[in-house]
C-alpha cells in the first residue's frame, strides 16, 4: 500500500510539472501559504510557533543526522546549518579542501549551537572530479576523485535513525521541515524523496534526501554525477512541498564573464 501511494504521488508530481499553473503552485508551497497582507508581527508569531513545533517533533521523533558535504562554503554554510536545526539533532560536516573560512565558521558554530545540535567537523583531503559532462571519464582516470567514494565515506559511521543529504547551499524552510517530520513520524518509511528549488527558478529533480541508516544504501558513479542506489523493497515516501532553496547560483552573477565552467569558477575560490 505504501509503495502504491508513493508511485501515485510521484506520477502526480510529474504530471503537475507539465501544467504551468500547478507547477507554479507546487513551487510556491516552499514558502508560507499565509496571506501577503498579514501583519508582520502575526507572521513572526506564526513562524515562531512552527519552529517550536518542529523542535518538539525532533525531540519526540526518530533522530536525524545532516550529512553536509562542503568545499569553500563560507558564504552559505551558517545559513544552511541553522536552517536544519529544528530537524536534525546531529550535523556532520565533511570538508573537501576548502581554502576559505569554512572550517573556522563550522568550529565556531559547534560552540555556539552546542546546546541545540551536535556538530562534528572532519576533512576529506582528496581532490574530487566536478559533476557534469566528462565526469565519469575523469573518475576513470583518477578513481580516488570519485564523488560516490566521497559520499559513501560521508554517510559512514552515523548512529542516528536517519541521514539527511545536505550541502552548504541548501536552505530549508520551516514549512518543509514540518511536512518531512509528518512523513517520518509514522515509523513506516525507510526513504523520503522530495525536490528543492534552484535560486534562479528551476525545480530540482526528486531525490532520496532522507534515508534510514538501517538499510544498505550506497552511492555509485554515473555518467555525470553520483547516484544513490536504494535497495529494492524499501518503503518510500514522497513530500510534495519542495524541501529547500538551493542558492549556489547566486554567485554566478560575479563569474558570468569568465571563460570556464561556472561551477569550476565557484569551487576554485
User: What would the grid cell of residue 195 be?
Assistant: 525536490
Q: For the chain, which residues make up each domain, given as ranges?
A: 2-28+52-268
CA atoms 44, 46, 49, 55: torsion sign: negative
**pLDDT of amino acid 183:** 93
Task: Tell me the average confidence (pLDDT) per consecutive run of 10 residues in the chain, 269 residues long.
Answer: 60 59 56 67 92 98 97 95 98 96 98 97 96 94 97 96 96 96 92 92 90 96 95 93 90 71 56
pLDDT of residue 248: 84
Q: Are 170 and 91 a contacting pair, CB within 8 Å?
A: no
pTM over 0.75: yes
Q: Give 61's contacts (C-beta < 8 A, 6+ positions apart).
A: 181, 184, 185
* CATH code for the part of the protein at 2-28+52-268: 3.90.550
Give the C-alpha distances (Å, rounded to integers) separating 155 from 17, 54, 72, 104, 160: 31, 24, 20, 23, 11
Bridge partners (DSSP) listed for residue 171: 245
pLDDT in tens, 80-129: 999 999 999 999 999 999 999 999 999 999 999 999 999 999 999 999 99
Bridge partners (DSSP) of residue 122 are 94
Q: For residue range 176-188, what is the model confidence (pLDDT) as tens digits?
A: 999 999 999 988 8
**162-167 vs 170-172, strand pairing mode:** unpaired
Amino acid at each position: 500500500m505504501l509503495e502504491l501511494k508513493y508511485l501515485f504521488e510521484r506520477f502526480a508530481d510529474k504530471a503537475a510539472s507539465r501544467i504551468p499553473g500547478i507547477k507554479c503552485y507546487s513551487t510556491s508551497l516552499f514558502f508560507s501559504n499565509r496571506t501577503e497582507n498579514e501583519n508582520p508581527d502575526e507572521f513572526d508569531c506564526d513562524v515562531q510557533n512552527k519552529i517550536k513545533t518542529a523542535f518538539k517533533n525532533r525531540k519526540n521523533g526518530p533522530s536525524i543526522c545532516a550529512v553536509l558535504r562542503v568545499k569553500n562554503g563560507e558564504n552559505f554554510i551558517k545559513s544552511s546549518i541553522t536552517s536544519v536545526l529544528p530537524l536534525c539533532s546531529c550535523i556532520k560536516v565533511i570538508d573537501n579542501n576548502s581554502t576559505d573560512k569554512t572550517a573556522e565558521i563550522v568550529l565556531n558554530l559547534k560552540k555556539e549551537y552546542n546546546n541545540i545540535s551536535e556538530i562534528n567537523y572532519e576533512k576529506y583531503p582528496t581532490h574530487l572530479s566536478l559533476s557534469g559532462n566528462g565526469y565519469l571519464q575523469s573518475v576513470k582516470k583518477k578513481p580516488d576523485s570519485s564523488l560516490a567514494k566521497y559520499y559513501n565515506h560521508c554517510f559512514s559511521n552515523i548512529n542516528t535513525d536517519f541521514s539527511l543529504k545536505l550541502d552548504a547551499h541548501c536552505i530549508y524552510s520551516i514549512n518543509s521541515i514540518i511536512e518531512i517530520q509528518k512523513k517520518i513520524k509514522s515509523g513506516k518509511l525507510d526513504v523520503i524523496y522530495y525536490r528543492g528549488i534552484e535560486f534562479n527558478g528551476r525545480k530540482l529533480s526528486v531525490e532520496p534526501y532522507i534515508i534510514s541508516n538501517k538499510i544498505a544504501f550506497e552511492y555509485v558513479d554515473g555518467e555525470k554525477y553520483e547516484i544513490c542506489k536504494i535497495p529494492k523493497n524499501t518503503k518510500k515516501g514522497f513530500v510534495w512541498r519542495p524541501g529547500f532553496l538551493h542558492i549556489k547560483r547566486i554567485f554566478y552573477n560575479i563569474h558570468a564573464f569568465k571563460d570556464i565552467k561556472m561551477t569550476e569558477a565557484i569551487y576554485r575560490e
